[in-house]
Chains A and B, each alone.
Chain A
Amino acid sequence: MTRYLVNRVLGMLLVLFLVALFTYMVFFLLSPDPAVQICGKTCTPERIDQIRANLGLDDPFPVQFLHFLEGLFLGRDYGTGASAVHCSAPCLGYSFQSAQVVTDMIVQRLPVTAVVAIGAAVLWLLAGVIGGLLSAVREGRFTDRFITALTLGGMSVPNYVLALALQYVFVVQLQWLPFPQAVPFADDPGQWFLNFILPWTVLAIGYASSYTRLTRANVIDTLSENFVRTARAKGLRPHLVWRRHALRPALTPIVTIAGMDFAGLLGGALITETVFGINGVGKLAADSITKNDQPVIMAVTLLAAFFVVVGNMVVDLLYSAIDPRVRAGATT
């Protein structure tokens, strides 16, 4: 098990390194000269050269990439002399446009993104599993068809449409929810919570729909397994047949997928955060794309990759804890 773990962590580091390299390369090759951006409107070629030299932009790609890695692990300084800015590890870069260290920009926004992701995940797991179970139990009947129709809708409506529609209905027309205002949790927990209801719902609806279908399919498949027949043949009570022999195998794969989806969301929900004016990582990404703020775009991309890769590993470990077949495979 320990060896498996070490292998997994090493593999993960390699993947992250490659992702970093690739991302850096893309931005290195595609990006417009940051020196020009920094320089502003009243700019002379000499000034640009000076900035380039100052920031090490003249260095060849490998050197720049090494600097980037160095910043990631040890921290680094941008510029020289009095105007130098220190960026401590893990340094994800410096946004010249907002004159801020990118790591700080992200760290500020990560909590709210996490809140969005956690709330949505709780909602979609509850709705998806319950909906899927209901659907499976009532297979082919009205409830099943009704739920299936709902999920079809849930999967096909784009998030921004859903967000705008829900906002119109619940905030503008019915006024069940207050107009969203950014309030810190400590100031007004009630308002804070109400602010998140719509974003959570919007994010959850799409996931909940596919989880419902997945749960339904898994449960129906599992119920036709031979071992479920064995459980019945033993004379087990129906609730035990369900709980032990149908639900556990049916829901285990859902844990895996939920972990991955959740990790993906930690990288920021671009559309939903933007529509609801939530100042999270997703909105940061959207804003940076609009402003073409390269270092931030790159950092957010890396962060998302980081969450996906780490989430992947956590899920694998979790899976090996619940599925004995995987567990055995891991030790040999």
Chain B
Amino acid sequence: MSLLRVNDLTVKFGDVTVVDGLGFELPKGGSLGIVGESGSGKSMTSLAVMGLLPKGALCTGEISFDGIDLNTLSERRMREIRGDRIAMIFQDPLSSLNPYYTVGTQIAEAYRSHRSGVSRRAARQVAIEAMERVHIKEAGRRVDDYPHQFSGGMRQRVMIAMALSTEPELIIADEPTTALDVTVQAQILDLLAEVRRDTGAALIMITHDLAVVSEVADTVVVMRYGDVVETGSTEQIFSDPRHPYTQALLDAVPRIDDEIGDLRTLGGGS
């Protein structure tokens, strides 16, 4: 059985349909890339899975997570899944972290809200371990720092630490590298691949950048105007794109292999 099955998902704002009968499947521990141009409904799809669609959105269709239909689940039960079994990483790590609290507090908060009877101390320890797992140096000291004291890449590492602290079965990353500079992008992608390997979590990587997809995804869903244009394994999409739109997206990314090679060498040092 697949971990996540999305079937005929439709999201509307009044008369405007932003996701239109979308469907895809993700096996346990698998990784799926969702690509598409800006406004194609990628973020709305991920927010629909999280049950975090903005006010005024009407969501229909089936979102089956481990056999549970998330779309008909009560808000209470959904909250238990959110952040525990499904975690999300957002595009802009600075604005996604609350400036008033230390990163340790914010990581621990995720963990504590899903495990009853965890002391502050124990949660802090979990936060430090999570930070170590995302390779933040001197985690024991930095756990008490505030988000503004970190660089962009380090902030995104904090977000990832927050996501993996609860050992989720699914991590949704919505353009996690878009706000970062190129060398840091490669490091974050490597980190996400490593996290997947170590924890066995499934990953949905949302991006408009096919180079990113080729890094982390086994399967690719190409979206346009809220619907799937083409689905296939990453190799198939890259070597033999069926749909002209996919072809166009591929053409927009010149020399993908070279570029990734370059990034690797640049990012490898630190």
Contacts and interface: CB of A to CB of B under 8 A. Distances in A.
B79 interface: yes
Given A249-B100, A325-B146, A235 B84 contact: yes
Contact of A235 (B82, B100, B101): B82
Interface residues of A, number: 23
B96 A230 contact: yes
Contact of A234 (B92, B102, B110, B149): B110
A235 B96 contact: no
A328 B110 CA distance: 25
Given A234-B162, A240-B113, A248 B100 contact: yes
Contact-size category for B: 20 to 34
Contact of A227 (B95, B110, B113): B95
Interface string B86-101: 0110101001111111
Given A229-B52, A324-B99, A324-B100, A234 B148 contact: no
Contacts of B159: 230
A283 interface: no
Interface string A222-264: 0001110111111111001000110011001000000000000
A248 B101 CA distance: 10
Contact of A236 (B50, B81, B97, B109): B109
Contacts of A324: 99-100, 102, 146, 148
B98 A227 contact: yes
A323 interface: yes
A233 B83 contact: yes
B98 A230 contact: yes
B264 interface: no
A234 B85 CA distance: 10
Nearest to B148: A325
Contact of B82 (A233, A248, A325, A328): A233
Interface string B176-209: 0000000000000000000000000000000000
Contacts of B142: none
A28 B252 CA distance: 75
A233 B50 contact: yes
Identify the interface centre among A237, A249, A324: most chain B CB within 10 Å of its CB: A324
Interface in B54-74: none
Closest 3 CB pairs of A and B: A235-B83, A234-B83, A235-B82
22 contacts: A225-B95, A227-B96, A227-B98, A229-B96, A230-B106, A231-B98, A233-B50, A233-B52, A233-B83, A234-B82, A234-B109, A235-B80, A235-B84, A235-B110, A235-B113, A236-B79, A237-B113, A244-B101, A249-B100, A252-B100, A324-B102, A324-B148
